[in-house]
Chains A and B, each alone.
Chain A
Amino acid sequence: MAVIAEPVAAHVKRSSLWSRAFESRNFLGAMFMVPAIAILVLFLAYPLALGFWLGMTDTKIGGVGRFIGFRNFVSLSKDSVFWLSVFNTIFYTVFASIVKFAIGLYLALLLNERLPFKSMVRAIVLLPFVVPTVLSAIAFWWIYDSQFSIISWVLIKAGLLTHYIDFLGDPWNARWSVVIANIWRGVPFVAITLLAGLQTISPSLYEAANLDGATNLQRFRHITLPMLSPIIAVVMTFSVLMTFTDFQLIYTITRGGPINATHLMATLSFQRAITGGNLGEGAAISNAMIPFLVAAILLSFFGLQRSRWQQGGRD
C-alpha cells in the first residue's frame, strides 16, 4: 500500500501546484500572453535575428555561409554605391516625409471643416492609398516616360516647352520624381490619420477660444497643434519608417537608375542579395538601415512620454 500511496501523493502535490499556479493572476496573465509572444517571436523576432545573422555571414544564394563578423560592413563602408544609396534614402525620406506631413495636415484640417460632399472628398483622398503600390508606380513610370510623358506632352502642346522633360534620365530629376511619387502615395495615410486625431479634439475648447477672441492661427497654435501632437508623433514615425524602407515604387519606376541615383538601401539590398546572389551582403545593407529606423522610433517614443511636449511645450 505504501508503495502505491507515495506516487499518488506526489501527483496530488504536483496537481495542487499546477492548480495553484493557475490561481495566480500573474501566471495566468503570462499564460494568456504565450500565443501572442509565440507569434511575435516566430514572425517578427526570428526573421530579424536571421537577418542579423545573415549580415554577419558570407552566405550566397543556395549556399551555407560562414560567420565573417563585421566584414560585410567593412566592405560596405568602402563601397561608393552603398554610400550613395544611404544619401538617396535620407534625401528621399526627409523630403517626402516633410511634404507628406504638410499636405496631409492641410487636407486633414480641410476635411475637418463643414464641406459639401465631405464623404466623397474623403474617399477621393484615400484613393492613392487604396491603389496597389505597383500599379501607382507603373502609372508614374508612364507619367515620367522620356517619350510618352503626359506632363511633357501637355506642356509642349501649351507652347511652354520645346523638349520632353527627362524626368528619370537625369540623376536629380529622377530623385525628385520618385519623391513626388512617394508623396502622392503617402499623403492619404497622413491626412486620414490626422483627421481622426482632429476629431477627438473637443469642440468646447474652440468655443472657449472663440469667446476669448482667439484668431484662427492662435487656435491652431494653442489648441490644435498641442492636442494633435501625440497623433502627429505616431503618424510621422510610421510615415518615416515606411518611406525609409520603400522598395516597390523605386524598383518599378527606376530600378535604382540612372547611375544608381535613386537606389535606396532597400532596393540595393535586394539587388545585391537576390539579383547578385550575395545574401550576406544584402542582409548587411538591410541591417545598416536599423540604426536610422531605431532613431526614428526613439524620437517618437520619447516624444510621446513627454507630457509637456504633447501639450505643445518645448520640453
Chain B
Amino acid sequence: MSDFDRRSVLKAGLGGAALLAGPGIVPVRAAEWTNTPEPNASIRVLRWKQFIQAEFDKFAEQTKKFSEKTGIKVKLEAESWEDIRPKAAVAANVGAGPDLIVGTLDDPFKFPEKLIDMTDVATYLGAQYGGWYPVAERYGKKGNSWIAIPQGATGGCLNYRISHVKAAGFDEFPKDTDGFLKLCQALKKNNTPAGFALGHATGDANGWCQWALWAFGGKVVNDKNEVVIDSPETIAAIEYVKQLYATFIPGVLSWNDSNNNKAFLNGELSLTLNGISIWTVGKNSPDPKQQEIAKDMNHAPMPIGPVGVSTEQQNVLVYYGYKHSKYPKAVKEYIKFMMDKENYDAWEVASNGYVSPPLPAYNDNPVWTSDPKITPYRDCLKRCRDNGYAGDLGYASAAVMGDFVVVDMFAEAASGSATPKEAAARAAERAKRYYQV
C-alpha cells in the first residue's frame, strides 16, 4: 500500500514538474517549497517530554540550528505528553499560548478550525519523500486539508526476555494470537509472567486493548460512525483477553504508563508492550542487573489475530500550529526544517529509534538496522490503525479513548466484575454518548 502511494505520488510530482519546467530548461524536482517566514518572527514550541535524553538534546540542537539559519527565534518547552493535551485544549479555547505543539493522536481533530492549514507543508514533504503512510495521512488530514503534520510514533512493540521465552518453549516469538496466548500461559507456568497495563494508562493500556479488539474484528464504530462495539467479534476479543489476563503478573489493573517499565527493569516481568525506552534505559544503565536485562531482551510486533492483518494502535505524535500565532509561516518553516530528512535522520539516530517515522522514505536510516533489536520499531506506522477506526477521527474518537471506554470494557470482564456480554454492552452505552452528539 505504501509503495503504491509512494510511486503514485512520485509519478504525479515528476509529471507535474516536467510539464511546468519543460524539457531541459530547469532541473526536475519532486517538490517545491515556497514559504517566506514573517520578519523578526519568534515562536513558542511546546513538545512532549523526553524519555531519552539524547533525543531531546538533538531536537534542541537542531532547533538552535534552525534559529541560526533563519533568524527565527524559538522558545522550546517540554511537558509530559499526557499533560500537553490539557494545555493544547486551553490554548485552543482561549486563543493564546504556544504557537506550535508537538502533541499526540487525534488532539488536533478536536479543534481543527483553530489550527493553521498545513497542506503546503504536508504536500511538500509527501512529494519530496515519496508519500506518507496511510495512517499518518489519517492523523494529519481533515477533509482535503492537512491540520497537522505527523512527526512519527513513540512506537510500541512487545518487549520480551529472550531466555524466558526460550524457557517457555518458543524459539521464535509467536506471530499470531493463538501462539501468543500459549506463550503467556507458559511464561506464567514458569513463574516469569507477562504483564500489560489495564489501569487508566493512556498509552500502554489503550495501545494493547485496541489491538486486542481489532485483532478479533471488533471495533468501536463502523465507517458510518455508528457504534458497533457490542458485537460477537468484541465478545471473542474479551474472551481472549480474559485468558491472557489470567497469565499476567498481579496488579495490572492499577498500572499506569510507567509501571511496566519499572517492573521489567526490576526483572519481575518477561513480556510487555512498550516503546524502545526499556531497552535503551537498560543498555545505558550503570546498574549491571539492568544491563543484563537489556542484553537478554528483544522486541516484536503485536501478533496478528483472526482478522489476518496487523491491528496495532500506536501513540502517534503530531505537529499542529495555532491560528492565534502571529507567525504562522515561521511555524511552517520550523516544521519543514525539523522534518527534512537530513535533520530527521540525525535526530532519529540520537533517539536510538525511539520515534517510528511517518514517511516510508525515512526507513533507510541506518539506525534501524544498526541493531536488529531496533528494527521492529521501524514499521510501527505501517502496522497501525488510527484510534478512530473504522470511523472518523474527531471529538468522539478522542473522547472514547480519553474516557478509557475500551480499556474499562476489558478490565471489567477480565477482573470478573462483569461478564463479557455485560462489559461489551456497557462499552456500547458509553461510546454512544459520544458518537450520538
Interface of chain A residues 151 through 209 with chain B (CB within 8 A): 163-164, 166-171, 174
Q: Which residues of B contact A254 (CB under 8 A)?
A: 199-200, 254
Residues of chain A contacted by B259 (CB below 8 angstroms):
145-147
Q: Does A55 contact B (CB under 8 A)?
A: no
The CA of A257 and the CA of B408, in the complex, are separated in Å by: 9
Assembly CA distance A274 to B89 (angstroms): 7
Closest to B87 in A: A274
With contacts A61-B93, A62-B89, A271-B403 known, is A277 near B433, CB below 8 A?
no
A residues less than 8 Å from B198 (CB atoms): 258
Q: Binary interface profile of B, 240-270, with partner A (CB < 8 Å = 1, else 0)? A: 0000000001111111100100110010100
**Interface residues of A toward B: which range?**
35 or more
- Within the assembled complex, what's the spacing in Å between the Cα atoms of A163 and B249? 11
**Cα(A138)–Cα(B199), bound, Å:** 16
Q: Are B430 and A258 in contact (CB under 8 A)?
A: no
Q: Which residues of A contact B415 (CB under 8 A)?
A: 258-259
The answer on a CB contact under 8 Å between B254 and A256 is no
A80 interfacial by beta-carbon distance below 8 Å? yes
Q: Is A279 an interface residue (CB 8 A)?
A: yes
Determine if A62 and B110 form an interchain contact, defined as CB atoms under 8 angstroms apart.
yes
Do A168 and B417 touch (CB < 8 A)? no
Residues of A within 8 A of B429 (CB): 80
- Find the residue from B110, B251, B398 having the highest chain A CB count within 10 A: B251
- Which among A61, A62, A81, A163 has the highest number of chain B CB atoms within 10 Å? A62
The smallest C-beta distance from B243 to any residue of chain A, in angstroms, reads 18
Q: Are A277 and B402 in contact (CB under 8 A)?
A: yes
Q: Which residue of B lies closest to A76 (CB)?
A: B433
Who on chain B is nearest to A263 by CB? B200
A167 — which chain B residues lie within 8 A by C-beta?
254
What's the Cα separation between A257 and B202 when bound, in Å?
A: 12
In the complex, chain A residues 254-271 whose Cβ is within 8 Å of any chain B Cβ: 254-260, 271
Q: Which of B85, B250, B253 contacts A258 (CB 8 A)?
A: B253
Complex Cα distance A272/B266, Å?
35
B56 at the interface (CB under 8 A from A): no
CB distance from A206 to the nearest CB of B (A): 49
A275 beta carbon closer than 8 Å to chain B: yes
- In whole angstroms, how far apart are the Cα atoms of A279 and B93 in the complex? 10
Interface residues of B in 254-296 (CB under 8 A from A): 254-256, 259, 262-263, 266, 268
Nearest-CB residue, chain B, relative to A168: B254
Complex formed: what's the CA distance from A174 to B113 in Å? 41
Of all chain B residues, the one with the shortest Cβ separation from A144 is B254
Asked if A274 and B85 make an inter-chain contact with CB atoms under 8 angstroms apart, the answer reads: yes
Complexed CA–CA distance, A174 and B199 (Å): 12
A-contact 0/1 string along B106-126, CB 8 Å cutoff: 000011011000000000000
Residues of B contacting A276 with CB < 8 Å?
Answer: 398-399, 402-403, 434
CA distance A97 to B254 in the complex (A): 25
Cβ-closest chain A residue relative to B92: A62
Partner of A257, one of B254, B262, B268: B254
Q: Pick the contact of B395 from A170, A258, A277 — CB < 8 Å?
A: A277
Q: Give complex CA distance A5, B368 in Å.
A: 93
B426 CB–A CB distance under 8 Å: yes
Do the beta carbons of B402 and A259 come within 8 Å of each other? no
A32 to chain B, nearest CB (A): 33
Known A255-B256, A259-B408; contact A146-B399, beta-carbon cutoff 8 A: no
Which residues of A lie under 8 Å from residue B398 when comparing CB positions? 275-277
Name the residue on A nearest B414 (C-beta). Answer: A259
Judge if A122 is at the interface, Cβ distance under 8 Å: no
Do A169 and B113 touch (CB < 8 A)?
A: no
Docked Cα-Cα span, A171 to B85, in Å, equals 27
Q: How far is the CA of A80 from the CA of B432 in the complex (A)?
A: 13
* Separation of A166 and B199 alpha carbons in the complex (Å): 13
> A67 an interface residue at 8 Å Cβ cutoff?
no
Partner of B110 from the list A60, A75, A166, A271 (CB cut-off 8 Å) is: A60
List B contacts of A6 (CB < 8 A).
Answer: none
CB distance from B66 to the nearest CB of A (A): 28
- Please state if A163 and B412 are interface contacts (CB–CB under 8 Å): no
Task: Judge whether B254 and A277 touch: CB under 8 Å.
Answer: no
Asked if B186 is an interface residue, CB under 8 A from chain A, the answer is: no
B113 interface neighbour in A62, A171, A277, A279, Cβ under 8 Å: A62
Chain A residues within an 8 Å CB radius of B39:
none
Q: How far is the CB of A265 from chain B (nearest CB, A)?
A: 15
Given contacts A62-B114, A272-B403, A277-B110, contact A146 B255 (CB under 8 A): yes
| Cβ-based interface call for B213 (8 A) | no
For B408, what are the chain A residues with a Cβ–Cβ distance below 8 Å? 259-260
CA distance A227 to B89 in the complex (A): 50
Query: Cα distance A257–B426 when bound, in Å?
Result: 16
* B380 within 8 Å of A (CB atoms): no
Write out the residue numbers on chain B whose beta carbons fall within 8 Å of the beta carbon of A58. Answer: 437
A89 on the B face (CB < 8 A): no
Per a CB cutoff under 8 Å, which of B253, B399, B417 touches A277?
Answer: B399
Counting CB contacts under 8 A, is B16 at the interface? no
State A168–B251 Cα separation when bound (angstroms).
Answer: 7
The 23 sampled A-B contact pairs (Cβ below 8 Å) are A60-B111, A60-B395, A62-B113, A63-B113, A79-B433, A80-B430, A145-B251, A147-B266, A164-B250, A166-B250, A166-B251, A167-B254, A255-B200, A257-B404, A257-B411, A258-B198, A258-B199, A258-B411, A259-B253, A274-B89, A275-B398, A275-B403, A278-B434
Knowing that A144-B254, A147-B251 are A-B contacts, what are 10 other residue pairs whose CB atoms are under 8 Å apart, sorted by A's residue number?
Answer: A79-B430, A166-B253, A166-B254, A255-B200, A257-B411, A258-B198, A258-B199, A259-B412, A260-B404, A279-B93
Q: Which residues of A contact B (CB under 8 A)?
A: 58, 60-63, 75, 79-81, 144-148, 163-164, 166-171, 174, 254-260, 271-272, 274-279
